[in-house]
A and B are shown apart, each in its own frame.
Chain A
């Protein structure tokens, strides 16, 4: 369970996240949508304690992130798949993360297998495609077998096979009773994967609903998204 209570983040004059409250519950995928610059990534960083909120707070399973001493067992997150040292092997990359939370090498081998990277585990990450790095990032998030998972644009760079794999993975992780917060711009993918949707624009909550409700009220999830965010797009051409 992820809960945001009036979360606010101000950078100088810019209000990146503005009094944002929503919940993402266990057992399903919650889609996290919004135009570029809406504050999605900032929100994820605030939840993970990477940035300090100006006011309000975020709780994971009822506790603030900073209170976890071995957070990988509570929360797994993929923020930026290319944020890896290109000279390190996939195995060593995962192992150095795992060790900080007292996770052993057997689990590293296990997650490498789970994401389909076991044959390239000893290869340098620098030679990986973006899709392979996404798989590596997902493997890192899964290391501690956490109840709560957050993925920022995990589908970017994946081939059709990978996109289908992620869809299946997200659903099966949710079916195991985990909380999944998934940010993506691919509406068709989101319609297939998510059960609930949270849409933000200019840092504020625009809509919190189920996919079923949105697709009943609009021709498609994409149409719903376009209509709901029409007034909060900051960077875009004429619609």
Chain B
């Protein structure tokens, strides 16, 4: 019996042994630097503002803003994990030595998902720490509030990062082309929400509620009226939709991979 542990080790070696992985990880975690810069700008503006304005000044959740960086990076990492094999032709070797095929895709999902979670949590919690340190009790103490109150949202945003990684992997396995998969990924995450934001209500709110960017806040119930997304889904349903973003493309790809000629 070919051990799944062996296939898992193989996929980990594949990922760690190419430079693009290291580059993407550094880029993903560099979101903390972006968070630091945004926090500094916000602090400067706050300090320059007259006292009455300071009282009513609000700040967006910087972790949510900068999470775009690890999300996109990990989406691309997930895509490349499989499309680089199709581009080089190595997929034939990979499928020959694991004839059942699906263990390879499961192992890739595990490795890419784990790296996504680590990167996401590092970027999100790192940004929180840096922002809290920079802002102190400015903005009515937005960042000095009890950490436990903020924790669910930070976790939900962190978890959205491996979802992007798995979505990228699933799209890559379906499309078998980096350009195609990354175009769909970016379209799904940035282009479609923009279009939905401009269609008439109630559809803008309805469709906006199932966009991937809306889900972390819906899951935690921490919804805000200024969001570009909708906020109609109850937490459990939002969590299910988040899982579906990761799982459905992968399940479709696994089903197709068993049947396709390689």
Question: A residues engaging B (CB < 8 A)?
Answer: 45, 48-52, 65-66, 68-72, 77, 79-80, 82-89, 92-93, 95-102, 140
Contacts and interface: CB of A to CB of B under 8 A. Distances in A.
Contacts of B195: none
B50 interface: no
10 contacts: A45-B262, A50-B261, A68-B99, A69-B100, A83-B93, A85-B88, A85-B90, A86-B88, A100-B2, A102-B2
Nearest to B98: A100
A101 B90 CA distance: 16
A88 B19 CA distance: 8
A74 B3 CA distance: 16
Contact of A50 (B18, B84, B92, B100): B92
B7 A83 contact: no
A140 B94 CA distance: 11
B17 interface: yes
B97 interface: yes
B209 to A, nearest CB: 40
A71 B97 contact: yes
B99 A99 contact: no
Contacts of B100: 66, 69
Interface string B1-18: 111001101110110011
A76 B243 CA distance: 39
Contacts of A101: 2, 6, 97
Interface of B: 1-3, 6-7, 9-11, 13-14, 17-20, 84-85, 88-90, 92-100, 104, 259, 261-262
Contacts of B261: 45, 50-52
Nearest to B9: A99
B100 to A, nearest CB: 8
A87 B13 contact: no
Most buried by B among A49, A68, A86, A97: A97
Contacts of B6: 99-102
Given A83-B93, A87-B19, 14 more contacts: A69-B1, A69-B2, A69-B100, A70-B2, A71-B97, A79-B93, A80-B89, A83-B89, A84-B90, A96-B17, A99-B7, A99-B13, A100-B7, A101-B97
Nearest to A65: B99
Contacts of A84: 88, 90
